[in-house]
């Protein structure tokens, strides 16, 4: 057994080619077994087993540096850099992260999670080495064919030409992202237009070597040996198979991008109810059939975000634009100027990429773009790179936008239906997980008026799924209190609060600039006290989402404690 006997990655540097082959076999078996049991990103890791062993053989990552783009394929690297046992608890509460993380290991040189950052980060490191006159250090960026479609990758490539930096880009070409990749790059890669591909990279000033069989240790060794003798920016184009070595994953690469636990520690809250993205997808199909002006855009997430069905039924109106959040939003803005009502379907965390496009291209021109923001709030196992903590705060301060946070499928339907004819920018945020009430009627929406029983001293005001937490909290304490769910976060309603002595607000988002603070700001005459529950001014770690809500301070138990303390 090689795998069990590697205690430091430097030991891999002395292995022979045949030993690296053996090590790769063991590593693959270990990852398959562990991740199928534990859950986590799966198929991408199986594609980079040989690459990882060869990189650790050819480079010394005490002084050389590596950046894994997105980082979901860094599990083999984690195993070989002193985290073999820790893989068993990857993404669990208190376990290691599912992405490279600087604080986790001295071998994780740059934290990733959002795509297309690797070339820029590695260039920065290489530039610093050049300034420090350290010519013998190597800087590696491993970039997938999906990650290479993201705009930042091109911005970096455009800068590389005259840099003479000692940087090696590894293009891991497996011809898929989570879903099939789109666009020109994907077209040329799948058509195997190698002379053109070579020419294209050379045009950016890169020395090109490829295509290399990324599962052949001998070919990989030769390529990296050559790369080490070449000073300056270069690209090694390897071809790999996502899911390599596990037949079901090779066949169904999208399904096996990420897997759930085989052994469920906790059963789902309500295993029968649908996921938010599935309900969204069904509503979208219904509204698209009813309103021909509706079009849809997903930046590379059709199956994760639920737009796939609409894409299948209305292929001329729904677009997967690849990993390109900024383009996605401005493309939507363009569509909106021509009478279309675009629905941009995007994770909260990735919408951060397109902030200026929201302000400058959509809101400033008051264009009717509808943002359906998935995975808003804490997202559990993916952790701080992916928590949708900030969208309320960063949208709240943008004029012209209205913001909604439904608590169930009916509200999601009502909000989407309203948004389509609102004629202005609308954001609708909904979380990861199952919808508590997943049915909806295609009814006409009522005007929102907030009537509520005013019988107690304390009022809890909440939005989105935090309102479901409040409902459950009510059943868990003997202390009664008034509660109010607010679906529309912006503009925030004016409420008659004067009879209360204490108001507690609850939201699945950042407190600073969030829902609670905006209610407070809107009620300057309220003389009682305020308590805002939500995500504090910290990055929340990864782990089981239910426990994270309480860790952050706004889960069911936290609400109960706040109510009891208010007495």
d(CA 1, CA 206): 39
Tell me if 545 contacts Mg ion by CB under 5 A: no
CB of 175 to Mg ion, least distance (A): 7
CB of 520 to ligand TPP, least distance (A): 33
Rule CB under 5 A: choose which of 53, 115, 174, 186 binds Mg ion.
Answer: 174
- Tell me which residues touch ligand TPP (CB under 6 A): 44, 47, 70, 72-73, 114-115, 144-147, 150, 172, 174, 176-178, 242, 300-301, 323, 325, 350, 353
Q: What is the DSSP string of 134-149?
A: -TT--EEEEEETTGGG
Select from ligand TPP, Mg ion, none the partner in contact with residue 72, using the beta carbon and a kind-dependent cut-off of 5 to 8 Å. Answer: ligand TPP
CB of 322 to ligand TPP, least distance (A): 8
Using an 8 Å Cβ cutoff, are 234 and 225 in contact?
Answer: no
Rule CB under 5 A: choose which of 146, 306, 433, 514 binds Mg ion.
Answer: 146
Where does residue 429 rank: exposed (0-12), middle (13-18), buried (19+ CB within 10 A)?
Answer: buried
Segment near Mg ion (CB under 5 A); pick from 145-153, 276-284, 323-331, 361-369 = 145-153
Q: Which is nearer to ligand TPP, 176 or 495 (CB)?
A: 176
Tell me if 153 contacts Mg ion by CB under 5 A: no
Size of the site for Mg ion (CB under 5 A): 4
Catalytic residue ranges: 242, 325, 353
Residue sitting closest to ligand TPP (CB): 144
The pair phi, psi for residue 408, each rounded to 5°, is -155, 180
d(CA 102, CA 139): 16
Tell me if 179 contacts Mg ion by CB under 5 A: no
**DSSP secondary-structure letter at 363?**
I
Select from ligand TPP, Mg ion, none the partner in contact with residue 353, using the beta carbon and a kind-dependent cut-off of 5 to 8 Å. Answer: ligand TPP
Q: Which is nearer to ligand TPP, 41 or 407 (CB)?
A: 41
Where does residue 406 rank: exposed (0-12), middle (13-18), buried (19+ CB within 10 A)?
Answer: buried
Q: Which is nearer to ligand TPP, 69 or 402 (CB)?
A: 69
Q: Which residues of 53-83 are buried (b: 16+ CB within 10 A; e: fewer)?
A: bbbbbbbebeebbbbbbbbbbbbbbbbbbeb
Residues in CB range of 193: below 8 A, 6 or more apart: none
Tell me if 144 contacts Mg ion by CB under 5 A: yes
| The token pair that represents 375 in the structure block | 């995975």
| The token pair that represents 294 in the structure block | 């509706």
Q: What is the dihedral of CA 347, 112, 105, 120, to 10 degrees?
A: -160
CB of 172 to ligand TPP, least distance (A): 6
Tell me if 488 contacts Mg ion by CB under 5 A: no
Looking at the DSSP assignment, which residues form a beta bridge with residue 346?
Answer: 373
CB of 146 to ligand TPP, least distance (A): 2
Using an 8 Å Cβ cutoff, are 69 and 142 in contact?
Answer: yes
Q: Which is nearer to ligand TPP, 75 or 350 (CB)?
A: 350
Residues in CB range of 277: below 8 A, 6 or more apart: 304, 305, 306, 374
CB of 72 to ligand TPP, least distance (A): 5
Q: Which is nearer to Mg ion, 68 or 390 (CB)?
A: 68
Q: Which is nearer to ligand TPP, 24 or 174 (CB)?
A: 174
Select from Mg ion, ligand TPP, none the partner in contact with residue 73, using the beta carbon and a kind-dependent cut-off of 5 to 8 Å. Answer: ligand TPP
Q: Which is nearer to ligand TPP, 376 or 495 (CB)?
A: 376
CB of 505 to ligand TPP, least distance (A): 31
Using an 8 Å Cβ cutoff, are 171 and 235 in contact?
Answer: yes
Residues in CB range of 232: below 8 A, 6 or more apart: 164, 165, 166, 207
Tell me if 145 contacts Mg ion by CB under 5 A: yes
Select from ligand TPP, Mg ion, none the partner in contact with residue 147, using the beta carbon and a kind-dependent cut-off of 5 to 8 Å. Answer: ligand TPP
Can you give the binding site for Mg ion, defined by CB under 5 A?
144-146, 174
């Amino acid at each position: 057994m090689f795998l069990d006997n590697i205690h430091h990655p430097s030991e891999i540097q002395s292995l022979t080619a045949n030993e690296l082959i053996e090590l790769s076999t063991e590593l693959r078996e270990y990852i398959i077994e562990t991740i199928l049991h534990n859950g986590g990103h799966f198929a991408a890791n199986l594609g980079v087993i040989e690459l990882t062993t060869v990189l650790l053989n050819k480079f010394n990552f005490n002084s050389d540096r590596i950046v894994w783009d997105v980082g979901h394929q860094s599990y083999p690297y984690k195993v070989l850099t002193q985290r073999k046992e820790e893989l068993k608890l990857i993404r669990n509460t208190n376990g290691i992260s599912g992405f490279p993380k600087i604080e986790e290991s001295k071998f994780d040189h740059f934290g990733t999670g959002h795509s297309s950052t690797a070339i820029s980060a590695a260039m920065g490191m290489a530039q610093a080495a050049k300034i420090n006159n350290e010519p013998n250090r190597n800087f590696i960026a491993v970039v997938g064919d999906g990650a290479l479609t993201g705009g930042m990758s091109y911005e970096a490539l455009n800068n590389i030409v005259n840099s003479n930096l000692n940087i090696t880009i590894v293009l891991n070409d497996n011809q898929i992202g989570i879903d099939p990749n789109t666009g020109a790059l994907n077209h040329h890669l799948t058509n195997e237009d190698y002379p053109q591909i070579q020419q294209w990279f050379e045009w950016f000033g890169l020395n090109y070597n490829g295509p290399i069989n990324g599962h052949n240790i001998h070919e990989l060794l030769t390529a990296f040996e050559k790369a080490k003798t070449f000073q300056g920016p270069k690209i090694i184009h390897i071809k790999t198979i996502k899911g390599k070595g596990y037949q079901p994953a090779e066949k169904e690469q999208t399904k096996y991008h990420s897997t759930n636990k085989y052994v469920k520690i906790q059963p789902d809250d309500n295993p029968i109810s649908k996921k938010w993205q599935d309900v969204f997808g069904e509503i979208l199909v219904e509204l698209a059939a009813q309103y021909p002006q509706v079009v849809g855009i997903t930046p590379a997430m059709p199956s994760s975000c639920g737009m796939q069905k609409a894409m299948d039924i209305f292929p001329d109106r729904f677009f997967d634009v690849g990993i390109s959040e900024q383009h996605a939003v401005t493309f939507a803005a363009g569509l909106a100027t021509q009478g279309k009502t675009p629905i941009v379907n995007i994770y909260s965390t990735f919408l951060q990429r397109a902030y200026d496009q929201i302000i400058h291209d959509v809101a400033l021109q008051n264009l009717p773009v509808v943002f359906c923001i998935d995975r808003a709030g804490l997202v559990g196992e993916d952790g701080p790179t992916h928590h949708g903590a900030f969208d309320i705060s960063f949208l709240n301060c943008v004029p012209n936008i209205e913001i909604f946070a439904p608590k169930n499928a009916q509200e999601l339907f009502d909000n989407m239906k309203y948004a389509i004819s609102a004629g202005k920018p609308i954001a609708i945020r909904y979380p990861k997980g199952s919808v508590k009430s997943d049915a909806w009627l295609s009814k006409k929406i009522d005007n929102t008026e907030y009537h509520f029983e005013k019988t107690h001293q304390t009022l809890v005001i909440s939005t989105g799924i935090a309102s479901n937490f409040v409902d459950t909290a009510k059943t868990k304490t003997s202390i009664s209190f008034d509660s109010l769910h607010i679906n529309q976060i912006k503009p925030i309603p004016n409420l008659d609060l004067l009879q209360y002595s204490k108001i507690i607000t609850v939201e699945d988002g950042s407190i600073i600039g969030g829902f609670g603070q905006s209610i407070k700001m809107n009620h300057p005459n309220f003389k009682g006290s305020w308590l805002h529950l939500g995500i504090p001014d910290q990055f929340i770690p990864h782990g089981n989402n239910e426990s994270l809500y309480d860790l952050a301070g706004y889960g069911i138990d936290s609400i109960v404690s706040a109510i009891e303390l208010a007495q």
